[in-house]
Amino acid sequence: MAFFQNGNSNIFYEVEGEGTPVLLLAPGGMRSANAFWENMPWNPRESLIEEFELIGMDQRNAGKSEAPISPTDGWSQYTLDQLALLDHLGVKECHLVGMCIGGPFIAGLLKAAPHRFLSAVMLQPVGIDGNREAFYDMFDNWADTLPAGLEEKTLKKFRGNMWDGEFLLTASEEDVAQFTLPMLVLMGDDLYHPQITSRKIADLAPSATLVEHWKSPETLQRTDLTIRSFLSEHS
């Protein structure tokens, strides 16, 4: 069990396997933690372990990680934690693999430090498409699990900083059009992961490929081969 400090945050992380590093950005919304991969249709911790070094983390105030919360918090704090983990491990370049909230996390990293990443795989990224109230509810349910004593106005401001944006939340359409690294986008198809978000990313990013059907039992073997081949090609 490993932790590192980034400012006042205490971040839990795990490193598994050997090879080109891959930073895993797990699903789970505000509860994004490395263990969430175990319940997903495709699990990189099983699929990629023989070929890559997998760096997984529990995001701040999720899983085993802890951090203070202020009304100025937002996506940038997560980006800083993620980059700080790579610095802590001495990783200069890596792939990115993220599901659900991992989509905006990837976009935030590509805006902040594009030179550090070899490729990106987004699996059913979250996005805004008439569904903002669902994300508010998700945030509020997570906030109910936090230690007592946080002011309601602090949490409301934090919620707005996270979920009042548009499209991919951390990146505009103009931003995504500047993401030149190879990208693989596996399409979402539900309330939190709208098809239109995945399609827009794939349309806008000049080196992106969209995979529409990937998580049914009939397609998972092909999905696994597609992702592994994509990462190997760009290592």
Cα-based distances in Å from 74 to 31, 114, 188: 15, 20, 24
Local confidence band at 198 (pLDDT 50, 70, 90 cut-offs):
very high
Cα-based distances in Å from 118 to 1, 115, 208, 217, 230: 27, 8, 13, 29, 11
* pLDDT at residue number 201: 98
* pLDDT at residue number 124: 98
Alpha-carbon distance 79 to 90, whole Å?
17
Q: Where do the domains of the chain lie, and which CATH numbers do they carry?
A: 2-230 (3.40.50.1820)
Q: Determine if the pTM surpasses 0.85.
A: yes
Local confidence band at 106 (pLDDT 50, 70, 90 cut-offs):
very high
Task: Give pLDDT tens digits for 37-91.
Answer: 999 999 999 999 999 999 999 999 999 999 999 999 999 999 999 999 999 999 9
* pLDDT at residue number 148: 87
Q: What is the mean pLDDT of residues 8-23?
A: 97
Task: Give pLDDT tens digits for 214-228.
Answer: 999 999 999 999 999
Cα-based distances in Å from 161 to 56, 70, 158, 165, 210: 25, 11, 5, 8, 29
Alpha-carbon distance 26 to 59, whole Å?
9
Residue 19, H or E segment: none
* pLDDT at residue number 128: 98
* pLDDT at residue number 177: 98
What's phi and psi for 221, nearest 5 deg?
A: -65, -40
What SS3 state is found at 224?
helix
pLDDT at 200 over 90: yes
Task: Give pLDDT tens digits for 124-161.
Answer: 999 999 999 999 999 999 999 999 889 999 999 999 99
Task: Give pLDDT tens digits for 161-179.
Answer: 999 999 999 999 999 999 9
Alpha-carbon distance 31 to 60, whole Å?
9
* pLDDT at residue number 1: 76
* pLDDT at residue number 233: 98
Mean pLDDT (the chain, rounded): 97
Residue with tokens 């890596």: 94
